A and B are shown apart, each in its own frame.
Chain A
Amino acid sequence: MSTTQTTSGADSSAELALKPSGAAVAAGQRRTLAGQLVHALSSSTLTVIVVLIALLWSVPTIGLFVSSFRPHAAINSTGWWTSFFPPWQFTIENYQNVIQSQGLGQAFINSLIIAIPGTILPVLVGAFAAYAFAWMKFPLRDWIFLIIVALLIVPVQTILIPVQNLFADVYTSTGFGITGSYIAVWLVHTALGLPFAIYLLRSFFGALPSDLFESASIDGASHLRVFFSILLPLSVPSLASLVIFQFMWVWNDLLVALIFLGGNPDRAPLTVNIANLVNGSTSAPNYEVLTSAAFLSMALPLVIFFALQRYFVRGILAGSVKG
């Protein structure tokens, strides 16, 4: 037998591991012709159905995208699908218009100014907290965690006025006013994002093998060192998914920005700006402006999603412990 001839134990274990898959192949070959046909048919049918659903799902986005390149007259007279046939009428004027005269360029930058700290702050603070909840021992740990998770159900609307009052109180007592500034929006987004961030990250951190942390503590690593040298590199998938969630939420938020920026048009993010575009058009709606503005606001979240989505599927933990 070949297994007994191999000299090193590692080789033989690899060989043993291969055997089951070999057996599966043999079973596949034994399948009858009819069985193979059914199998091929069912798998291809499934593929077709999935592709169809995906296409159906993207129809509105495609429509939006195509419309944003059509001139005013064409949008108002025909449907977006007619632009696939001649005469082709496409223009980039809509984009030039919204970016320059409608102030969407500035709004895009404002959105970035809000969304980047509004994502980094809650993810970072949440990661610290989640590490503590998962791997440090302190009294009432589980109770505090439960309370934080319970905060997930608090609706945004209920906190608007109390927080505004709080900011006002801070202003009257210290003279430090943050209402209408970016800091206010960052703080509110951090506070709103933390419960979910802590909840998500704690469950991920908690699932890491305890041996790793024990081993690190024997190696002489402090909590801070464990956090940065071991935990963060291993948690990229969960951090990436949290970054996507939080970024989308902040990027798409209208309410918090509207309330806490106090209607200052110089600082208004995309959402506020687009809402103004919709409300501002009293007569016929400017579809060509709206579609291009809407597509602009979608572009960055799409880029972020596609940039980070590979981390979802990457099994970075493979090889750390034997499963």
Chain B
Amino acid sequence: MASVSFEHVFKRFNKVEVVHDITFKIRDQEFLVLVGPSGCGKSTCLRMIAGLEEATEGEISIGDRVVNNLPPKDRDIAMVFQNYALYPHMNVYDNMAFGLKLRGTPKAEISQRVQTAAEILGLQPLLKRKPKELSGGQRQRVALGRAIVRDPQVFLMDEPLSNLDAKLRVQMRAEIARLHQRVQTTFVYVTHDQTEAMTMGDRIAVLNAGVIQQLGAPGDLYDYPANKFVAGFIGSPAMNFFEGAKLEQNGGVWLRLSEGVALKVPEDVAVRAESYIGRMVTLGIRPEHLEEGQAAKRRQGQENLSSHLVPVRVDVVENLGNEQMVYGVLGDKQVLARVDARSAIHPGDDIELYFDMQRIHLFDPETERCITSRPPEAESEPEIVSETTASTFERVEEVEKVEKVEVVEEVEETVTKTEEA
């Protein structure tokens, strides 16, 4: 059990820099997921912890030891590979015992440890089999077992589930999470699959182009993405982006998407975007925060939601049973909404989409930083305590604001009603 820390780590292969000045700390007993698109440097980071790659610059520590110059075997880590990397000529027992034998562990202890690991993973009936006689899931379990018997300080996993079929992947996902609870050791898990990251990680580090974009709890990454990359990467289906939206001050702050289409920005959101009024921003909203206009009106019992509605022409409808994916076109932009399966929507229809304006994200079009997320100092604090307090504090504040906004909206509605009358 140990923490792992990176201090200004760079990695270059010849002239190509794959990891750029990474500094972060993986806490003791934490399940940290490194996630990002392929080529983002996540596997390189993991391999640097393992000692399979050397850091070009910077310091990597496991526990209190700087490990830059230690060979992999002296780092007290175990790694599970994407291809399992089982020794094909050894049976399951020997595969698991190999590392212990090399360390001169007494035979009785080896046997006992292998038996325990086999019991945890349900491998007892398979101990005498060769890897080729096992299914993919069983091989994966042997690879995990080989890591468990070593009782290492840190478990490293490099996309361990990507070779399994979808159903087995879900099953193994839960099994690995359970394993983490049971062995109470630091886990570092690399994946390109944001679902795995969201479901398994205590914290997630999103990497892109060799830089950590954001490090935080899964919920924080979803609710408060630091920039457009994280916003688009976390969450499935991905967030909708509307570039070239203009913030305007016109009796409150409005977000003009195109000629004749404008959305009212709630006050608490507008406060954060104050300096952008009169400028272009990028609007981001998740498909699950869009709703079919009629349904929204029924649900809210309000007739006039025009400040939240956007006309859309329906292109494709995918019915998943519990929900529908509606692909629409708004001017020259694509929009995806995740709506109630009971809404009768057909391709070619002209509908209105209700935007949940409390859940929108605004991004600076140049830096792509999120304007509306909470202030950056609360984003990636190294200690659990400070982070928890920060986010709790944030949320309390938010709730208060929401209440205020609702009041404002009501006032507006009365105004419009009187006008109509």
- Mark B residues whose CB is within 8 Å of A: 50-52, 71-73, 77-79, 81-89, 98-99, 102-103, 130-139, 146, 150, 163, 165, 167-168, 171
Contact = CB atoms under 8 A, between A and B. Distances in A.
Contacts of A215: 79, 81, 85, 87, 146
Contacts of B51: 218
B133 A212 contact: no
A79 interface: no
B99 A9 contact: no
A266 interface: no
A219 B97 CA distance: 10
A322 B136 contact: yes
Nearest to A320: B88
Contact of B83 (A225, A233, A322): A322
A212 B85 contact: yes
Contact of A13 (B72, B131, B136): B136
A322 B139 contact: yes
Given A217-B71, A219-B98, A211 B135 contact: no
Nearest to B77: A218
Contacts of B138: 10
Nearest to A214: B52
B167 A320 contact: no
Contacts of A321: 83-86
Given A209-B85, A230-B89, A234-B89, 19 more contacts: A12-B167, A13-B168, A211-B82, A211-B84, A211-B85, A214-B50, A214-B72, A215-B81, A218-B52, A218-B99, A219-B98, A219-B146, A220-B99, A220-B103, A230-B87, A233-B89, A318-B132, A320-B86, A321-B85
A303 interface: no
A62 interface: no
A218 B79 contact: yes
B135 A14 contact: yes
Q: Lowest 7 CB-CB distances: which A-B pairs, in order?
A: A319-B132, A320-B88, A211-B85, A219-B99, A220-B73, A9-B168, A10-B135
B88 A219 contact: no
A14 B137 CA distance: 11
B102 A220 contact: yes
Contacts of A10: 135-138, 168
Contacts of B72: 214, 217-218
A107 B146 CA distance: 54
Contacts of A12: 165, 167
A317 B89 CA distance: 8
A13 B102 contact: no
A311 B138 CA distance: 28
B87 A320 contact: yes
B303 to A, nearest CB: 46
Given A217-B73, A219-B99, A319-B130, A13 B137 contact: yes
Interface in A217-260: 217-221, 225, 229-230, 233-234
A12 B88 CA distance: 24
Interface string A135-171: 0000000000000000000000000000000000000
B418 to A, nearest CB: 59
A316 interface: yes
Nearest to B135: A10
Given A214-B52, A220-B99, A234 B79 contact: no
B188 to A, nearest CB: 14
B131 A319 contact: yes
Contacts of A318: 88, 132
A316 B89 contact: yes
Contacts of B82: 211
B102 A9 contact: no
5 contacts: A214-B72, A217-B72, A220-B103, A318-B88, A319-B134
A209 B83 contact: yes
Interface string A42-73: 00000000000000000000000000000000
A54 B38 CA distance: 52
Contacts of A9: 137, 165, 167-168, 171
Given A230-B87, A234-B88, A320 B73 contact: no
Contact of B102 (A209, A212, A221, A319): A221
A319 B135 CA distance: 9
A45 to B, nearest CB: 36
B132 A214 contact: no
B75 to A, nearest CB: 8
Given A9-B167, A316-B89, A319-B132, A225 B78 contact: no
A16 interface: yes
A54 B135 CA distance: 41
Contacts of B136: 10, 13, 322
B205 to A, nearest CB: 22
A87 B81 CA distance: 72
Contacts of A234: 88-89
A230 B83 CA distance: 17
Interface centre among A211, A219, A322 (most CB of B within 10 A): A219
A236 B156 CA distance: 32
A135 B247 CA distance: 59
B48 to A, nearest CB: 13
Contacts of A216: 87, 98
A230 B90 CA distance: 9
Contact of B73 (A14, A219, A233, A322): A219
A12 B133 CA distance: 16
B103 to A, nearest CB: 6
